[in-house]
Amino acid sequence: MTEQALPRIIDTHTLAKQPPKDHWLIIFVGDEPAHAAGHIPGSVCLDYGWLNRQQPPAAGLLPDLESLADLLGSLGITPDTHVIAYDASGNGRASRLLWTLDCIGHPHWSLLSGGLMAWQADDYPLETGLVPWSSAPPYPVPAAPTPALARRSDVMASIDMPEVMVLDARSPMEYAGADVRAARGGHVPGALNLEWTQNFDADNATRLLPAETLMAMYQDLGLTPDQEIITHCQTHHRSALTYVVLRHLGFARVRGYDGSWSEWGNDPDCPVTAGTEP
């Protein structure tokens, strides 16, 4: 498979009406009890914890590449596999998986808009029990992560680079410094704020808003597809959805900061600004 077989975002009707394909792998990112209670037929379960490396105070770092190679191979993912990801809580977890695939240069992936909630709302069938993984050899990861990964040094450098924008996907209270979840509250100087939940309609089974609505929202924020964007939240969970949405909208230079506020807010050498303005 040499080209994108499905768009970055697919809806439940598109997934339901197509027969399963050998090169597809549908992955529920969540815990096994939730998966066993009811999941999209044929989908396997990946515990979200496997996608995060803990290095306190940073709580959501990208795992080392050797571990990722083993994990993806154990799931049955090869360079030709098209991964369709979903979860049951707004698709932040599913998006973290897709960002991880971008970090190792795997191009074939899609996000199911609305995830499990949308599938259930549309009365499509569920399957119970656990689906075994189909093991494959370790995935051939690159020697270093792709530019999809941003590190603390990249965020630091962006402060003096007007062509690089930091996009904070946390709540306005976290951004302003009123809700403190690290040693310090506030935000990266110059960072813009758009809470991740603004990407979807909570009253419509958390389905993503139409592309034209999303694009207008980001343009109103001052972002354009020619810019480089670095997304973050507390642990690059919520901001992973923002990352995927921007990729969906055609932003070619998007990066995810895995350390996010759990690293930045706890590092006294990293500058912090409080209040509602960048």
Q: Specify the CATH number of the domain 149-264.
A: 3.40.250.10
Q: pLDDT of 61-113, one tens digit each?
A: 999 999 999 999 999 999 999 999 999 999 999 999 999 999 999 999 999 99
Q: Judge whether residue 18 has pLDDT over 90.
A: no
User: Are 170 and 193 within 8 A, CB to CB?
Assistant: yes
pLDDT the model gives residue 199: 98
Rg, the chain, Cα only: 18
Residue type at 72 in one-letter notation = L
Instruction: Report H helices in the chain.
Output: 12-17, 32-37, 65-75, 92-103, 115-121, 152-158, 172-176, 211-221, 238-248, 260-264
Distance between first and last Cα of the chain: 43
Query: Which candidate in 45, 103, 233, 270 is catalytic?
Result: 233
Residues with Cβ within 8 Å of 124's Cβ and at least 6 positions away in sequence, in order, are 12, 16, 40
**Active-site residue 233, yes or no?**
yes
Q: Largest Cα–Cα distance of the chain, in whole Å? A: 53
**pLDDT, tens only, 177-204:** 999 999 999 999 999 999 999 999 999 9
Classify 55 as helix, strand or coil. strand
Question: Residue 135's pLDDT is what?
Answer: 85
CB 82 within 8 A of CB 59: no
Q: Is pLDDT at 227 greater than 60 in this prediction?
A: yes
Q: What is the pTM of this model?
A: 0.96
Question: How far apart (Å, rounded) are the C-alpha atoms in residues 123 and 1?
Answer: 32
Task: Please give the Cα distance from 88 to 27 (Å, whole number).
Answer: 12
Q: Hey, what amino acid is at 127?
A: E
Which residue in 178, 173, 168, 163 sits closest to 264, CA to CA?
Answer: 168
Mean of the per-residue pLDDT values for the chain? 96
Q: Where are the domains of the chain?
A: 9-121, 149-264
Q: Which residues contact 157 (CB under 8 A, 6 or more apart)?
A: 164
What topology is assigned to 9-121 in CATH? Oxidized Rhodanese; domain 1 (3.40.250)
Q: Please state, in angstroms and rounded to a whole number, the distance separating the CA atoms of residues 99 and 101.
A: 5
Estimate the crossing angle of helix 211-221 against helix 238-248, to 10 degrees.
110
SS3 for 187?
A: strand
What six digits make up the tokens of 251? 């932003």
Query: Do the domains at 9-121 and 149-264 have one common CATH topology?
Result: yes
- How many other C-beta atoms can be found within 10 angstroms of the C-beta atom of residue 209? 17
